[in-house]
Amino acid sequence: MVKKSDKAIKSIRQSRNNKDEKKADVKPISTDLQVNLENIKEVFTNCSDIVFREFIIGYQAPVKAALIYVDGLTDKASIHDYILKSLTIEARASKPNIELNLDDTYKWIEESTISVAEKKRVENLDDVMSGFLSGDTALLMDGWNKALLIGTKGWASRGISEPDSEVVIRGPREGFTETVRINTSMVRRRLHSNKLKMEGRKIGTYTQTDVVVLYMDGIVNPKIVKEVHKRLDGINEVDSILETGCIEQYIEDHPYSPFPQIQYTERPDKVVAYLLEGRVIIMVDGSPDCLIVPTVFVQFLQSPEDYYSRILMSTVLRWVRFIGIFTAVTLPALYIAVTTFHQEMIPTNLALSISGAREGVPFPALIEALTMEISLELLREASVRLPGAIGSTLGIVGALIVGQAAVEAKLVAPQMVIIVALTAIGSFTVPSFAASIPLRLIRFPLMILGAIFGLYGVMLGWIGILVHMISLKSFGYPYLAPLAPLRVSELKDVLIRAPRWQMMTAPQFRKPTEKPPKSFLRKPYVKNSKGAVKND
């Protein structure tokens, strides 16, 4: 039976790929209901969740009909109340005005009896099958070589809850769910604009996953939308799309780079903000994360909260994150370089105390640091996999007990424990988890370089990182964008977080022609010299 469903899939695939040859390959709907049902049943043998319900419409000229739907994917109440009830009981009671021929009957049934909002007429069996597989109910009638797909999608899904990975203190608490329609609705609810476009498509030969591309018409640079569609078209042959991560890998520019070139988020407010900056959002059914393209590196350092809390605080917090990143990447390497190459840099007393603490430590600083950093990574990975309470216990056990014991056993110097702890803390300041992973990774080569060449090596490593990051592009946009190439006017959202009324100048992803009105640059409510508030 697997083979048989394979066949069905293959035909579906072909139906999508070769749209021109559609008629030749696609199985048409027969006028004989039984033939149709048998054809479908043959494809779906041993699929216990598919329900075939045969019944008769009307009594003047009774029409044999069948409903096909997937149990669990459909809203049963609406099938009962608005399809079956309408077609059987209510249709029998109501009498059409005119004498109907057969065609008009079908038309009458389609237009007047089914009290469900969404419906679609399809003309071949493949569309019927993919229709009910995605949760609609298919209505086939004897003598009619067409079929109706009635929108009855409805399945158990997770409620809207706060995203765990992007916690904010101030700002909306809701996050996306696994259902793409709910997600788009959450965006639409925040953006009542006819400019918001959502283009849907299906990807994945087996999974037939809904993928929606969102953008603001008129703000977005049309080139990006075109590029997104081009890249999405390129992944048609894939079997399954289970999560946005699968799409990300297919469409990103440099898959082998440690740095993520596409950001994902679970927060609708963030999505709206990015849409208004002229970016394109890709949503995938079955995943609460949606992709944001193009992405630049500094985005990973911006939390939506920055824009909700006060200006000064956000600016300071940004700098805290810069320091955090620098610490997470460089601190162990710097420590190794300074203590094994440039002892003259540290004040005499500190140098002596480090030297004293290292007295009896058998390993060179590099090995010492590597051991500690690797055990830190072990701990981190272990505590991520464990359920909440145990996870935090493990963290404490690891940090306190193991660290303490290692110092007492003279395996590491206490200073090294401090350095490693600071590294970990630094990497936690990055708001995006996806960006903190590469930062954790690249500190290892830096440590090795630091142990070979000292500060020269650390700098060499940094130059290498920068050369790599500068060469990265995300959908044609330079990855380090407002920094390199330098765009001074955009630094106001990188080095500082400027007041909102100053942020209205053209974002980099806007359409090239788009120029914002000058008045955007002024604070809308300005106190004039007499102290009265005036609306500008």
386 Cβ partners below 8 Å, 6+ apart? 394
The residue (of 99 and 408) whose beta carbon lies closer to other proteins is 408
Given candidates 37, 225, 346, 498, which one binds other proteins under the rule CB under 8 A? 346
The residue (of 9 and 365) whose beta carbon lies closer to other proteins is 365
Q: Which amino acid is located at 406 in the chain?
A: A
DSSP characters over 137-174: EEEEETT-S-EEEE--B----PPP---STT--SSS---
* 353 part of the interface to other proteins, by CB under 8 A: yes
Given candidates 357, 382, 491, 496, which one binds other proteins under the rule CB under 8 A? 357
The residue (of 207 and 508) whose beta carbon lies closer to other proteins is 508
Given candidates 464, 495, 496, 502, which one binds other proteins under the rule CB under 8 A? 464
Residues in contact with other proteins, shown as a per-residue x/- string from 286 to 325 under the rule CB under 8 A: ----------------------------------------
Given candidates 98, 169, 467, 532, which one binds other proteins under the rule CB under 8 A? 467
Long-range pairs of 242-249 with CB within 8 A, sequence gap ≥ 24: 242/207, 242/209, 242/286, 242/287, 243/284, 243/286, 243/287, 243/289, 244/282, 244/283, 244/284, 244/287, 244/289, 244/290, 244/291, 245/287, 245/289, 247/203, 247/211, 247/282, 247/284, 247/291, 248/291
* 456 part of the interface to other proteins, by CB under 8 A: yes
* 225 part of the interface to other proteins, by CB under 8 A: no
Single out the residue of 273, 275, 247, 271 nearest to residue 261, CA to CA. Answer: 247
* 407 part of the interface to other proteins, by CB under 8 A: no
HSE toward the beta carbon, residue 202, CA cutoff 13 A:
17
* 418 part of the interface to other proteins, by CB under 8 A: no
Given candidates 345, 378, 397, 400, which one binds other proteins under the rule CB under 8 A? 345
Given candidates 47, 102, 312, 352, which one binds other proteins under the rule CB under 8 A? 352
Touching other proteins, residues 477-496 (CB under 8 A)? 478, 480, 483-486
> Please, are residues 37 and 140 in contact by the beta-carbon 8 Å criterion?
yes
Task: Locate all alpha helices (DSSP H) within 32-101, ordered by sequence.
Answer: 33-43, 76-78, 85, 91-93
> Closest distance between other proteins and the C-beta of residue 288, in Å?
35
HSE toward the beta carbon, residue 67, CA cutoff 13 A:
27
The residue (of 382 and 448) whose beta carbon lies closer to other proteins is 448
How do 137-141 and 63-70 pair as beta strands?
antiparallel
* 458 part of the interface to other proteins, by CB under 8 A: yes
* 361 part of the interface to other proteins, by CB under 8 A: yes
* 466 part of the interface to other proteins, by CB under 8 A: yes
HSE toward the beta carbon, residue 53, CA cutoff 13 A:
19
Given candidates 20, 99, 164, 344, which one binds other proteins under the rule CB under 8 A? 344
Given candidates 72, 364, 499, 516, which one binds other proteins under the rule CB under 8 A? 364
Single out the residue of 419, 472, 465 nearest to residue 445, CA to CA. Answer: 465
Touching other proteins, residues 72-101 (CB under 8 A)? none
Q: Cα-Cα-Cα-Cα dihedral of 18, 21, 23, 26, to 10°?
A: -50
* 151 part of the interface to other proteins, by CB under 8 A: no
* 214 part of the interface to other proteins, by CB under 8 A: no
Torsions phi, psi for 33 (to 5 deg): -60, -40
Given candidates 52, 433, 453, 520, which one binds other proteins under the rule CB under 8 A? 453
Given candidates 242, 470, 495, 496, which one binds other proteins under the rule CB under 8 A? 470
**What is the CB neighbour count within 10 angstroms for residue 74?**
23
Task: List residues binding other proteins (CB under 8 A).
Answer: 339-348, 351-359, 361, 364-366, 448, 451-460, 463-464, 466-467, 470-471, 478, 480, 483-486
